[in-house]
Amino acid sequence: MTLHMLPLLAAAAPLAAASAGYIHLDVSKQAASNPSLARRQQDFQASLTQANGLEYLVNITVGTPPQNLAVTLDTGSSDLWIPSISSKPCREGQCDGGEFVPSQSSSYNIIDEGGFNITYAGPGDSDSGNWVEESVSVSGSKTINNTIIGVALQGADQHGVMGIGYDTNEAQPNPSPDGSYPSMLDHMVSQGLINRRAYSLYLNDLNETTGSVCFGCVDSTKYTGDLIALPLQQSARYPGEPANPTPSVFYVTLTGVSFIDSTGAETTLSSEGYAQSVVLDSGTSEVLLNNYILTGLANGLGAVYVGEENYVVPCSYSNTNASIRYTFGGEDGPSVVVPLSEVIYGQLVPPRDFAGHSSGGCNMGVSGPIEGQVILGDTFLRNAYVVFDLDNYQVAIAQARGGQASISSLQVISTGTELPGVSSTATAAGTQLNEEEASATAIGIPEATGNTVTAGTPTFQLGASATASNASPSNTSSGTGSDSGSPGSSSSSGLAAFITPGPQAAFLGAAGAVAGAFLM
């Protein structure tokens, strides 16, 4: 399907002040720049979805004198790369995050000419150029010299990416003989900007324009309840293969998924004893769950499958006070509740083609796993406050407190093993999907046929505000109402007649969690 761009929600935020022991900066939301990117590395192709057409950007400077750029913040990858002024999007004036001019930087040092290359699934979707050493600053911090980054001289992406995962998960090949060069987090520690490789992420509510990331600190104003630690789980290169002994991707154990309806009644969607390793990844905006959980959620909402991994429900369902609960680490682990209003997005089917619902049909915001990976992306992370502690192979999770971007109470993360504010650790272990589970498909979800979509009857209690036929979604973006767009793979050629180009699944060019999980 064609991606219909959301209006720009916020330009890149001004640089925030840096302080001894931490770097605190704004994260701004913007419409996703590319609808169909999926990185190939060696013989493996991985893909990530940008479900609601949003990316989360931070400001950096690169070069001498410094050039201002906004780049996507990605917990699922580990490389920093930026677009050159010579890349096609920049030449066409599309580099909304700024463009880098190598000839204007006296510190630009090519160390592998032509060696930087990322190829994507769509025809012509690639970024290539040089591996270079450059001077980089984050949020006005002390300049970090001789930082290895990729500079795309040609490519499809409109802005770059700053991966903040493990350096053992960096793109291959790269200039390092052992395949691992110092990452931005490594440099922050070696330069004394932060005490250890740890940071906290607060994406904020869907309707808010700004969140924050704090390298080296925890902000107690951004969460409610207990902040509980989870050990990172081992991960394998491919589903069914033995796990590596040292985690290099942010896998944690998800032990429960349930639906809370408008009356407060809770229905468990996961099976008894469920313990699934899931990736926390800001480079994937939707949630990708086990297919049997997806089936239970979709049928409970009366969703209809319309192709290209899109499950449609009436847009008015975003008005309900129903929610999805995610539980981690067992009985004593953290729990995060995600309102449906934060999940359901972008109108895919206009009202005239969506029988009985004048609000039209919107994406349910949840789909099945990719290549055996269960991923909790931005539709989850917007409602979670997460501290990523790379040095001690742990994360800490709490329920996010929305609308708190303008206030802060920061605690520096010191060296050692403790994280500020953490009350306990939940240690239940999880497992990745095996090959059979990874290839299984969701069953029993109705598929749209013909030129009109008819929503199923929900079995969950959603309340009058959700089921009223004249209700309109509170935070979704309507499509153009045109009949253009192609549904890609589907069970009926009639789909092309009613699917409106909307902010549906788009693939982030950062590689992110899925590609990263297989680069160990």
Q: Who contacts 92 (Cβ-Cβ below 8 Å, separation ≥6)?
A: none
Which residues of 205-351 form beta strands (DSSP E)? Answer: 210-215, 217-219, 223-231, 251-260, 266-268, 276-280, 287-288, 304-305, 311-314, 323-328, 335-339, 345-349
Highest mean pLDDT, choosing among 139-143, 369-373, 512-516? 139-143
Rounded to an integer, what distance in angstroms lies between the CA atom of residue 180 and that of residue 174? 8
Residue 219 has pLDDT above 70, yes or no: yes
How does pLDDT run across 439-465, given as a tens digit for each residue? 777 788 989 888 889 988 999 999 988
Domain annotation covers residue 84: yes
CATH number of the domain bearing residue 142: 2.40.70.10
254-279 pLDDT, tens digit per residue, is 999 999 999 999 999 999 999 999 99
Q: Is residue 359 in a domain?
A: no
pLDDT of residue 468: 59
Say whether pLDDT at 93 is over 70. Answer: yes
Range of the domain at 121: 18-199+511-517
Assigned domain for 135 exists: yes
Query: Looking at the domain assignment, is residue 358 inside a domain?
Result: no
Nearest to 199 by CA among 208, 189, 190, 191: 189
Q: Dump pLDDT digits (tens) for 174-202.
A: 999 998 999 999 999 999 999 999 999 99
Question: Do residues 374 and 278 lie in contact, with contact meaning Cβ atoms separated by under 8 Å?
Answer: yes
User: Is residue 420, in this structure, part of any structural domain at all?
Assistant: no
Q: Is residue 44 in a domain? A: yes
At 62 the three-state DSSP class reads: strand
> Does 94 map to a domain?
yes
Q: Is the distance from CB of 53 to CB of 5 less than 8 angstroms? A: yes
Give the per-residue pLDDT at 207: 87
The total domain count for the chain is 1
pLDDT of residue 53: 55
Please state whether the peptide bond connecting residue 369 to the residue before it is cis, i.e. omega within 30 degrees of 0.
no
Q: How far is CA 289 from CA 217, 305, 372, 438, 519, in A?
A: 30, 16, 10, 11, 22
